[in-house]
Amino acid sequence: MAETILKVVDLTINFSGLKAVDTLNFEIEKGEIFGLIGPNGAGKTTTFNMISGALKPTSGEVWLNGQRIDGNYMYQTNKLGIARTYQNINLFRSMTVLENLLVGQHCRLHSGLFPAIFRTPKEKKEEEAAVQKARDTLEFCGLGHKEDTYSSSLSYGEQRILEIARALVSDPVLIILDEPAAGMNPTEKNSLADLVKRIRARGITVLLVEHDMKFVMGITDRICVLNYGKRLALGTPAEVQANPEVIEAYLGGGD
């Protein structure tokens, strides 16, 4: 059995009485592509938000590599090695593509205020290295030719890729993608699938939420199905597709 990287234990959150996520349990193994699916309002993004530190769970625990991370702030979680993208794109719109990636490296750089003011050699060197790393990452994600473009003028698909690049550049051990394929055309989806596989090939574990079933079934190793905040099923894509409860939730619900 492979090493567990992320462990979610009895995760629960209440929104004014409503249990958006209810005693959820799953484990993600190092190096896999793990999918989280479910009908609208099943609590997928809420789960993401609790793992990444945007929300504090009411109860339950999240462990990353044996370290408890629930209740951390996002910036702390990011430093520990979880980087994420957002369902509704959250880019720094008036920054260029390259600058977005420089911000993405924030937690891996060290120069503070005074090295910046005095432009110390160490700071200069670090900045140069950061620019190089940003360029490499852009090249890896296929956005190399856009580095000086303002991120707000990228196409929708490119903006999604840029978010992934920005997450990737912070050297995460786990990358969380929230509906990365939303709004993409089939060609873009194919290159996205390719990119996700190449990210995994770098040894980075991927956790993703996606509505496009074909996309999810095609690239994930295992899938967890959520319904009304509870775990409905967990297994390989084939197992999940054969599960009668899942079929009921998706088809019976008239989704």
User: Contact residues for other proteins (CB under 8 A)?
Assistant: 52, 54, 73-75, 78-79, 83-84, 86, 90-96, 99, 102-104, 106-109, 111-113, 115-119, 123, 126-127, 130, 148-150, 152-153, 166, 170
Cβ at position 129, least distance to other proteins in Å: 12
| C-alpha dihedral (148, 86, 237, 188), degrees to nearest 10 | -30
| C-alpha dihedral (74, 77, 82, 85), degrees to nearest 10 | 0
CB-nearer residue toward other proteins: 107 or 217: 107
Rounded distance between C-alpha atoms, residue 181 and residue 66, angstroms: 31
CB-nearer residue toward other proteins: 9 or 107: 107
CB-nearer residue toward other proteins: 112 or 254: 112
Cβ at position 213, least distance to other proteins in Å: 27
CB-nearer residue toward other proteins: 166 or 189: 166
CA-based torsion, 237, 242, 248, 252: positive or negative: positive
In Å, how far are 4, 6, 57, 61, 62 from 66, measured between CA atoms?
Answer: 9, 8, 18, 11, 9
Local structure of residue 82 (DSSP, 8 states): E
Cβ at position 242, least distance to other proteins in Å: 36
CB-nearer residue toward other proteins: 27 or 99: 99
Cβ at position 191, least distance to other proteins in Å: 23
Cβ at position 62, least distance to other proteins in Å: 16
End-to-end Cα distance, the chain: 36
Name which of 129, 8, 12 is nearest 64 in CA terms: 8
